[in-house]
Amino acid sequence: MNRNLPLILKAGLLVGTLDITAALLNFYIQTGKNPTIVLKYIASAALGKTTAYESTLVILLGLLFHFIIAFAFTIFFAMIADRLWRWFKNTYLIAALYGIFIWMVMNLLVVPNSLAPKIPFTWQNSLLNGVILIICIGFPLSYLFFKNKQPNSFNN
């Protein structure tokens, strides 16, 4: 793991930034509302109702929590990357499977067991969120971790 530390740091920052940017843009496009609501929602997972807290603090905590989660998924990916490569040897498939895995963990385990307000399930939002996770986390992690596995490995 130590030899991967620079890669994990770079990858965690990249996927965290891509994912939150996509989430904020998606929220704004769909609702026309201030996208900081997304960061407040993330913070509410730990804080519950955020109205009792200063708004800027809640937004910053939401951003911090988001990056902690992004780094956790990046570290987990680094831990299982070699095994994933042995099983699948296809970066696109690994990217898709990991994006789906993240969606399942977040939507079936983390969010329901948090203090965040419940959001009604819709297939449209679920599919869109899954695609965002695949594109913003799965693909970058697969590319960064597997680009040197063999020549043109990302083209498998």
Q: What percent of the chain has pLDDT over 70?
A: 94
CA 11, CA 142: separation in Å to the nearest integer? Answer: 10
pTM for the full predicted model: 0.90
Tell me the residue range of the domain where 8 lies: 2-155
The total number of structural domains that make up the chain: 1
Q: Give the pLDDT confidence score for residue 64 in this predicted structure.
A: 98
Structure tokens at 47: 């804080």
Average pLDDT, the chain: 93
Q: 77-125: per-residue pLDDT in tens? A: 999 999 999 999 999 999 999 999 999 999 999 999 999 999 999 999 9
SS (H, E, C) 95-133: HHHHHHHHHHHHHHHHHHHCCCCCCCCCHHHHHHHHHHH
CA 121, CA 88: separation in Å to the nearest integer? Answer: 31
